[in-house]
Amino acid sequence: MKKLLYIFYSLIISKIPGGNNSIGKSFRRRFQRLLGITLGTNAVIGHHTIISYHVLDKLVIGNDSGVGPYSYIMGTGKIIIGKNVICAPKITFVTRWHEIFYDKNGEKINIQKEGGITIGDNVFLGTNVTILPNVNIGEKSIIASGTTVYKSVPPNSFVRGAKMVMDRLEG
Q: Are 82 and 103 in contact (CB under 8 A)?
A: no
Element (DSSP H or E) covering residue 110: strand 108-114
The domains found in the chain, sorted by start residue, are 2-153 (2.160.10.10)
Element (DSSP H or E) covering residue 58: none
**Residue 90's pLDDT is what?**
98
- For 26-51, what is each residue's pLDDT tens digit? 777 788 888 888 989 999 898 889 98
Q: Which of 119, 116, 111, 37 is nearest to 77 (CA)?
A: 116
Model-level pTM? Answer: 0.82
- For 55-108, what is each residue's pLDDT tens digit? 878 899 999 999 999 999 998 889 999 999 999 999 999 998 777 778 888 888
**Residue 168's pLDDT is what?**
47
Phi first, then psi, for residue 8 (nearest 5°) are -60, -45
Q: Are 147 and 127 in contact (CB under 8 A)?
A: no
Q: Which of 14, 38, 138 is nearest to 85 (CA)?
A: 138
